[in-house]
Amino acid sequence: NAGVTQTPKFQVLKTGQSMTLQCAQDMNHNSMYWYRQDPGMGLRLIYYSASEGTTDKGEVPNGYNVSRLNKREFSLRLESAAPSQTSVYFCASSSNANTGELFFGEGSRLTVL
Amino acid sequence: GQSLEQPSEVTAVEGAIVQINCTYQTSGFYGLSWYQQHDGGAPTFLSYNALDGLEETGRFSSFLSRSDSYGYLLLQELQMKDSASYFCAARGSTLGRLYFGRGTQLTVWP
């Protein structure tokens, strides 16, 4: 039972490079999310997708794009990485039930030099 | 906007009881969740309150007062393994969308 799987787990980029973080869930959940976590800042929502085919901006969307490829997969793309995007990125999913429960992946640790 | 306030640190000894408070200001509110995160790990769900009152799950309980925009997480019979960060998260106007507080670092001493 994999749950939410993120790749890669670690990545080092140079300023201006691009990359895509991949996320897949096997729980048949409708909603998926991308958060970033910085020391002392908690988790901040970048983008979310309430259902397949829809995406919406969260609190800190600038510098990111997302794709909800299908119900299982939700990718996050950095087109031109900046040092301010050094962070731990978490993908999460939820069933849309009224539980307030998100299932998180193990995180992707990104460093931009 | 959304704003959730919780203490940055709490310490306690094994076997004790600790309460972590959370106050929130959100444009829409459907409920309050609590998550636990150990160093280097993923956040894991602990509880969710949609209605006022106390929800109990084993050693952990969570409380919500909508009229006071306030909730808390109560941890009883503390164990060393409870040392972690705890986050409150408000469910906003969009289904499932959660706004997180900055987290409370709980340290449990032997």
Question: A25-50, pLDDT tens digit by residue?
Answer: 999 999 999 999 998 888 999 999 98
Instruction: Look at A59 and B2 and tell me if their CB atoms are within 8 Å.
Output: yes
Confidence of residue A1 (pLDDT cuts 50, 70, 90): low
Select the residue of A40, A102, A105 nearest B98 (Cβ to Cβ). A102
Q: With CA atoms as reference, report the closest residue to A44 among B94, B39, B24, B2.
A: B2
How far is the C-alpha of A109 from the C-alpha of A81, rounded, in Å?
14
DSSP category for residue A73: B
pLDDT, one tens digit for every residue, chain B (110 residues) = 679 999 999 999 999 999 999 999 987 888 999 999 999 899 999 999 999 999 998 999 999 999 999 999 999 999 999 999 999 999 876 666 789 999 999 999 99
Q: With CA atoms as reference, report the closest residue to A34 among A59, A51, A9.
A: A59
Whether the CB-CB separation of B20 and B106 falls below 8 Å is answered with yes
Contacts of A10 in chain B (CB under 8 A): none
In A1-113, where do the E strands start and end? Answer: 4-7, 10-13, 19-25, 31-38, 42-49, 56-57, 64-68, 74-78, 87-94, 103-104, 108-112
Instruction: Look at A100 and B33 and tell me if their CB atoms are within 8 Å.
Output: yes
